């Protein structure tokens, strides 16, 4: 049998190595559909079941047209932009988050009670998206009277009881089991009572939002 020239054998060996490298790359690299005017790095954890696994997407350069910064966008299945960053100043562009409008400063128009036992004077319901919440609330009491204000979250007291007239400002957990309660209704109630012989206590939420752990 005739022997192949050494240069052909070398070429075959090189081709085999390249095919193996391509096969390895196809099986190990994550699929990337499209990257436009920017760079994307995806790091894959060796064990996807590892509870410490995390995915981070970060813009790592500014190679857009005219040195413009690339926009980080997340689109749904219908092409709607549901999440994006603000390339001018940084921060969040979409979604637009609701903000509390200016509140009435006349305490006579606030939720109030003249009861001498704990009474619910205001209530709201929201889905649980984050494990913690911050609530800031102004309170008042009528002249010569004393009273207290507290907050209940799903039947459990949230923060400390404050004397009417003080500011309530608490950041704390709203659930001890985020895995079970995620997306479920969160009921927030404001309770008030008068501790003097008579009078009225008032409370007005002025800030409320969810937070991370």
pLDDT tens column, 152-174: 999 999 999 999 999 999 999 99
pTM recorded for the entire structure: 0.70
Would you say residue 41 has pLDDT above 80?
no
- For residue 63, name the pLDDT band (cuts at 50, 70, 90): low
Residue bearing the bigger pLDDT, 69 or 199: 199
In the chain, where are the structural domains located?
Answer: 1-97, 107-211
If you search the block for the tokens 């309770």, which residue do you land on?
191
The CA-based angle 192-197-202, given to 5 degrees, is 30
- For residue 111, the tally of other CB atoms under 10 A from its CB is 17
Both structure tokens of 203: 């409370």
Percent of the chain predicted with pLDDT > 70: 76
pLDDT at 130 exceeding the cut of 60:
yes
Looking at residue 132, what is its pLDDT?
A: 97
Q: State the first-to-last Cα distance of the chain, in angstroms, to the nearest integer.
A: 74
- How many percent of the chain have pLDDT more than 90? 55
**Chain centre to alpha carbon of residue 49:** 23
Length of the chain equals 213
pLDDT number for residue 122: 98
Q: Please state the rounded mean pLDDT for residues 66-77.
A: 75
- The answer for 183, left when phi > 0, alpha when psi is -120 to 50, beta otherwise, is left
Where does the pLDDT of residue 145 fall: very low under 50, low under 70, confident under 90, or very high at 90 and above?
Answer: very high
What is 107-211's CATH number? 2.60.120.760
CA atoms within 13 A on the CB side of 20: 6
């Amino acid at each position: 049998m005739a022997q192949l020239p050494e240069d052909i054998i070398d070429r075959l060996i090189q081709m085999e190595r390249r095919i193996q490298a391509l096969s390895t790359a196809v099986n190990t690299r994550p699929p990337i559909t499209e990257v436009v005017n920017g760079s994307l790095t995806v790091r894959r954890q060796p064990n996807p079941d590892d509870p410490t696994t995390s995915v981070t997407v970060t813009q790592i350069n500014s190679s857009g047209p005219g040195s413009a910064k690339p926009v980080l966008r997340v689109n749904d299945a219908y092409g709607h932009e549901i999440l994006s960053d603000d390339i001018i100043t940084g921060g969040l562009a979409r979604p637009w988050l609701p903000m509390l409008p200016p509140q009435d400063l006349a305490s006579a128009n606030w939720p109030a009670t003249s009861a001498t036992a704990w009474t619910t004077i205001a209530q709201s319901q929201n889905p649980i998206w984050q494990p913690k919440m911050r609530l800031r609330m102004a309170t008042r009491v009528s002249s010569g009277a004393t009273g207290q204000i507290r907050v209940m979250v799903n039947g459990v007291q949230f923060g400390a009881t404050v004397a009417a007239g003080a500011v309530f400002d608490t950041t704390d957990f709203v659930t001890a089991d985020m895995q079970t309660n995620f997306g479920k209704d969160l009921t927030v109630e404001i309770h008030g009572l008068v501790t003097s012989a008579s009078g009225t206590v008032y409370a007005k939420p002025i800030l409320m939002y969810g937070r991370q752990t």
